[in-house]
Amino acid sequence: MRLLGIETSCDDTAAAVVVDGRNVESNVLASQDEFHARYGGIVPEIASRKHVETINAVIELALRKASRTLDELDGIAVTCGPGLPGSLVVGVAAAQALAFGRGLPAYAVNHLHGHLFANFLRDGERDQAPPQTPFLCLVVSGGHTDLIAVEAADRHRVIGRTLDDAAGEAYDKVARLLGLGFPGGPLIDALARSGDPAAFAFPRGLVRDASYNFSFSGLKTAVRYHLDRHPEDARTRTADLAASFQAAVIDALCDKTLRAAHDLGVATIALAGGVAANSALREQLRARAQRAGLALLVPALEYCTDNAAMIAAAAFYRGARARVQPDQLRVDPNFAW
């Protein structure tokens, strides 16, 4: 089954062709980095207009790179939410027009399901088997930090989530405090490599709490208070601050994830979302999973951050649960798990 995936939930315009939810024939992404530099973040109105300008070219390129025509597709999968309403509507309208015009089935995909199912995509280098359920998935993105018990490919339960900021949001806010730029995750990731993670003792939110929930706003505030008292550290000890902040995020993420895996008795942990691209998180979760005798799945880097291949994968595995008539495709900015 060959699906065209379309993703426009935030500010990246993406399209991909994926066969059987695993084999990626193309994965195209147009990003709006030029605006990040100019405005220091995402401006929803600009993001929406950019999607309108690029969506057709991105879809055409995805088909061309896959050497496929619309006639060879079996369906159109699109992100319906959660995300920015003005951005989502562009992808949904494009998907609706294509599905309606071609008489193809449409799939209404939850962006978070997309991140989870990125773990089912075949990663060029490894010919790994699809994950065996049950497993535990830590979804860490710019808007979400959720622990998901995946009982079957089409059945899961949210067992924990952040009570305030998402992990990616904390990276972006702390990067701004340090004057680094946007998005902050990759910048802090790179800078932290030359810093001392033990230089500053920042708080690990909720680690002693019995729930599987997370909290990152206290950590962000601790970094801000530190900079209020020692403003010169933003220039002279940037790498140490980045490394110490990152260590606190990763400790909290790993502690809760390992505890949940132990309590649920699963043998496999999966990582997903933009923050899953973080090199230190990948390394530390791998090391801790190994010590605990657990398998760890991590998507290839290009499938961690927003992309359309994961949307096509989610549509394939969700199947009838995601399939709708083209005229029933609706934007749902608060689409819940």
Indicate which of ligand KG4, Zn ion, none lies near residue 143 (CB less than 5 to 8 Å, by partner kind): ligand KG4
Q: Out of Zn ion, ligand KG4, none, which partner does residue 131 contact, by CB within 5 to 8 A per kind?
A: none
**Residue 207 three-state SS:** coil
Report if residue 117 touches ligand KG4, rule: CB under 6 A.
no
18-77 residues in contact with Zn ion (CB under 5 A) are none
Edge-first strand listing for the sheet containing 23-30: 23-30, 13-19, 2-7, 75-81, 106-110, 323-324
How would DSSP label each residue in 152-183?
Answer: ETTEEEEEEEBSSS-HHHHHHHHHHHTT--SS
The reply to whether 11 sits near Zn ion by the rule CB under 5 A is no
41: contact with ligand KG4 by CB under 6 A: no
Q: Nearest Cα to 258, choosing from 226, 292, 228?
A: 292
Residue pair 258/292 in contact by the 8 Å Cβ criterion: yes
Binding residues with ligand KG4: total (CB under 6 A): 19
* 193-232: contacts with ligand KG4 (CB under 6 A): none
When the beta carbons of 42 and 63 are compared against ligand KG4, the nearer one is: 42
- Give yes or no for residue 119 binding ligand KG4 (CB under 6 A): no
- Our finding on whether 306 is near Zn ion (CB under 5 A) is yes
Instruction: Return the residues of window 272-311 that contact ligand KG4 according to CB under 6 A.
Output: 273-275, 277-278, 305-306
Helix (H) or strand (E) run with residue 15 in it:
strand 13-19
Among 26, 110, 141, 257, the residue binding ligand KG4 under the rule CB under 6 A is: 141
Burial (Cβ within 10 Å: 0-12, 13-18, ≥19) of residue 304? buried
Q: Does 10 bind ligand KG4 (CB under 6 A)?
A: yes
Please state whether 134 falls in left (phi above 0), alpha (psi between -120 and 50) or beta.
beta
Give the E-state strand segments of 20-141 in sequence order: 23-30, 75-81, 106-110, 135-140
Interface stretch with ligand KG4, choices 28-36, 53-61, 165-173, 283-291 (CB under 6 A)? 165-173
Q: How far apart are CA 104 and CA 325, in angstroms?
A: 9
Q: What is the smallest separation between the CB atom of 108 and Zn ion, expressed in angstroms?
A: 16
172 touches ligand KG4 (CB under 6 A) = yes
Question: Which uninterrupted H or E stretch holds 285?
Answer: helix 279-291
Residues that bind Zn ion (CB under 5 A): 141, 306
User: Which residues sit at the interface with ligand KG4, rule CB under 6 A?
Assistant: 10, 141-143, 168, 171-172, 183-186, 189, 273-275, 277-278, 305-306
